[in-house]
Amino acid sequence: MKLVLSFLTVLFSISYAYPQGGFILSGAVKDKRGEPLPGTGVYVSGYKIATATDNDGAYKLLLKPGSYDILIQLIGYKAINKNIVIADKSVKLDVTLEENPTQLADVTIKPDPNRAYYIAMFKAYFIGTTPNALKCKVVNPDVLIIDYDKGDQKLTVKTNEFLIIENQALGYRIKYLISLFEWSSKTKIIYYEGYPHYEDLNGSKSKKRNWAKKRLESYLGSPQHFFKALYNKNATEEGFIINKLITKPNPDKPADSIIRANIKRLASSQMTLTGRLSIGQPDSLSYWLRKKNLPDGISILNRAPVAQDTLVKTVNASIKKINFTDKLYVIYTKEMESPSFSNQIGQSISRPLDMPNYQISTVTLQLAPVYFYENGGIYNPRSTLYSGYWAWEKIADSVPMDYVPDKPDHK
């Protein structure tokens, strides 16, 4: 991913499509007995679009052509997610909700002395550690269902109802139903998926102006901005330079099997009578231990720009895709790295000495290809692994998928 592999990577898996026209999504929400469920929330995941069912359990939303995740939720019932595709006509979606006994009954949760620590860890890896994250408040942390596996050193979090986050930096109230959040201290990989919904906070005119400025800053240079620019074939004009980071086997490191065999052979021959291992600085065992600690590969940056026409292929009228080998080294030239990021040990991407302090991220292909829409939303979960600046900015720096920049350009 970079010249020296970064400490932190993050995998995003929220899928959205960009609306382009106007049709009606309508339907009714009922229980198993066929009774209407008024007041049920119907959310378009990732957007600011939502409604509630009327007294007859009916709802109606105006959507433009695209693929959407529709979340239907009512307290006391199991939430349902349905993916719908709107092409050239209106769509009807009727839903039956099942009661959720765990929400209706009194649930006794065994106190966990480490819960506060795990919540703090979750906040750092889910909301982030950016300046914007410092202005975020989790309103209802009690909805977090937390599990920590000490053997695998993995933190897992989910929710059965919306986690509510008030982002005073960007002026959003984010309601996020978390299907799965994982943080592994072994792999240093964060993964989360779920159904967020954005609402504007109330504020004075001056606050709204500041929020608009901060939203634009968060959007520019983000993965959402990058994929939208790729879709529109103007990534270069938008300030992105795409290079390749090629990893080749380290010629100075022998095969692992050879290293293990030599360490085992030499270690057994150097055991003292007390059963302790005696290692001298110039001896052969020290040599093979040093070989073991060498990196498996050497990363080489190819600074020849990757042509967008070569990278991006059209699937159909609303979907494009990318497929690549090695890793994409993405440079955003219209903003410099935040000092807060530069001070994060192990997260920065190595850069050539003659390169300014631009924002740099890398993209590793997890599942090929990466399908994406005009608004920059990625279709297939777990398809990309980010490192560098994109791994640093998380929920606190996110904007809705229907966000439209106030300015067409930013310098």
Q: Where are the chain's structural domains?
A: 23-104, 115-200, 205-246+299-397, 254-293
Question: Pseudo-torsion of CA 235, 240, 243, 244, nearest 10°?
Answer: -80
Is the separation of the CB atoms in 118 and 176 below 8 Å?
A: no
pLDDT classification of 9: cutoffs 50, 70, 90: low
pLDDT at position 5: 34
Structure tokens at 330: 């993405």
Q: What's the whole-number mean pLDDT along residues 296-301?
A: 84
pLDDT at position 163: 96
Q: How far is CA 231 from the centre of its chain?
A: 19
Q: Which of 11-15, 31-35, 56-60, 127-131 has the lowest mean pLDDT?
A: 11-15
The string of pLDDT tens digits covering residues 182-212 is 999 988 899 999 999 999 999 999 999 999 9
pLDDT at position 407: 56
Contacts of 351 (CB under 8 A, 6+ apart): 3, 358, 360
* pLDDT at residue 280 is higher than 80: no
* pLDDT at residue 4 is higher than 50: no
Q: Hey, CA dihedral for 365, 367, 369, 373, is it positive or negative?
A: negative
pLDDT at position 345: 66
CATH of segment(s) 23-104: 2.60.40.1120
Contacts of 237 (CB under 8 A, 6+ apart): 229
Sort 224 into a burial class: Cβ within 10 Å, 0-12 / 13-18 / 19+: buried
Q: Which residue has the tokens 């750092």?
A: 124
pLDDT at position 112: 80
Query: How many CA atoms does the CB half-sphere of 147 hold within 13 Å?
Result: 9
Structure tokens at 241: 């330079």
Instruction: Say how many C-beta atoms besides its own lie within 10 A of residue 171's C-beta.
Output: 20
Task: Tell me the β-bridge partners of 248.
Answer: 298
DSSP 377: -
Instruction: Say how many C-beta atoms besides its own lie within 10 A of residue 325's C-beta.
Output: 8
Side chain identity at 279, as an amino acid letter? I
The whole-model pTM stands at 0.82
pLDDT at position 271: 57
Q: What's the whole-number mean pLDDT along residues 214-238?
A: 97
pLDDT at position 170: 98
Instruction: Say how many C-beta atoms besides its own lie within 10 A of residue 35's C-beta.
Output: 9
pLDDT at position 408: 46
pLDDT at position 286: 81
pLDDT classification of 347: cutoffs 50, 70, 90: confident
Higher pLDDT: 3 or 375? It is: 375
Query: Which of 99, 157, 148, 161 has the alpha carbon at shortest distance from 125?
Result: 157
Cis peptide before 249 (omega within 30 of 0): no
Task: Tell me the β-bridge partners of 109.
Answer: none
Q: How far is CA 340 from the centre of its chain?
A: 20
